[in-house]
């Protein structure tokens, strides 16, 4: 995550994200490639945030110390698992190009464990209706999405990485997300 000044004024759609969102961050080698694709095909999105896999809805309020401890305990009870990324596809009827993230079962179990914490009580539930994905481009048209997919048809990557940390990312005043706290899976709690 890189601090910056993506915007001077927050649009209405940005407001719900002010307290942050939980994500899975890919390892640096994967992030470098996806970040380069994001910068090329969707510079607006790339400026806001590096490569990520969304795990939760935005927090309705700042994460308290007690809630952070609860999240750490919940994540410690989830065993690390391997995530696979690819193939690349569009998300019709909506615009965008993403890497599929599989397998769904352990990822959904991770979402459920996070959703069961008090950080999400009284707020929108963690999204189980949206399949896990890693975004390449989102602020593009449906037509541009098809062009990007065609351009990357023989140049995108597939692979896997160990999902062993959940990260809370929070936007700065310029709406650029930065990692503020990591929570280890199957481990001893949080990493700052």
Handedness of CA 136, 87, 161, 14 (dihedral sign): positive
Query: What pLDDT score does 40 carry?
Result: 94
Q: How many CB atoms lie within 10 A of CB 112?
A: 14
pLDDT score recorded for residue 157: 79
Quickly list DSSP for 37-57.
Answer: HHHHH-HHHHHH--S-EE-SP
Q: Which residue has the tokens 């979402």?
A: 111
Domains of the chain: 27-186 (3.90.1140.10)
Higher-confidence residue of 189 and 165: namely: 165
Q: What's the pLDDT band for 5 if we cut at 50, 70, 90?
A: very low
- Mean pLDDT, the chain, rounded, equals 87
Say what the pLDDT of residue 14 is. 73
Of all residues in the chain, what percent carry a pLDDT higher than 90?
59
Statement: residue 134 has pLDDT above 50? yes
Q: What is the pLDDT of residues 22-34, one digit of tens each?
A: 999 999 999 999 9
Higher-confidence position of 173 and 30: 30
The three-state secondary structure class of 102 is strand
Query: Which one, of 110, 93, 22, lies nearest residue 60 by Cα?
Result: 22
The DSSP symbol for 103 reads -
- pLDDT for residue 126: 57
Q: pLDDT band for position 1 (50/70/90)?
A: very low
Containing 67, the helix (H) or strand (E) segment is: helix 65-76
Residue 6: closest CA among 50, 37, 36, 40: 50
Looking at residue 128, its pLDDT comes to: 57
- For residues 82 and 124, which has the higher predicted lDDT (pLDDT)? 82
Stretch among 26-35, 124-133, 143-152, 153-162 having the lowest mean pLDDT: 124-133
């Amino acid at each position: 995550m890189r601090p910056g000044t993506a915007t001077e004024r927050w649009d209405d759609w940005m407001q719900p994200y002010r307290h942050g969102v939980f994500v899975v961050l890919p390892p640096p080698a994967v992030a470098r490639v996806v970040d380069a694709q994001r910068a090329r095909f969707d510079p607006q999105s790339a400026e806001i945030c590096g490569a990520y896999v969304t795990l939760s809805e935005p927090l309705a309020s700042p994460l308290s110390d007690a809630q952070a401890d609860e999240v750490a305990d919940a994540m410690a009870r989830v065993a690390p698992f391997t995530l696979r990324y690819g193939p690349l596809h569009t998300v019709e009827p909506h615009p965008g190009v993403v890497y599929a993230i599989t397998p769904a079962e352990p990822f959904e179990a991770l979402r459920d464990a996070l959703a069961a914490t008090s950080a999400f009580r009284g707020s929108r539930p963690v999204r189980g209706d949206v399949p896990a994905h890693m975004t390449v481009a989102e602020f593009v048209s449906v037509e541009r999405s098809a062009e990007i997919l065609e351009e990357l048809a023989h140049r995108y990557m597939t692979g896997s990485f160990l999902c062993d940390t959940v990260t809370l990312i929070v936007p700065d005043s310029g709406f650029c997300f930065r990692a503020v706290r990591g929570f280890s899976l199957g481990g001893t709690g949080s990493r700052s």
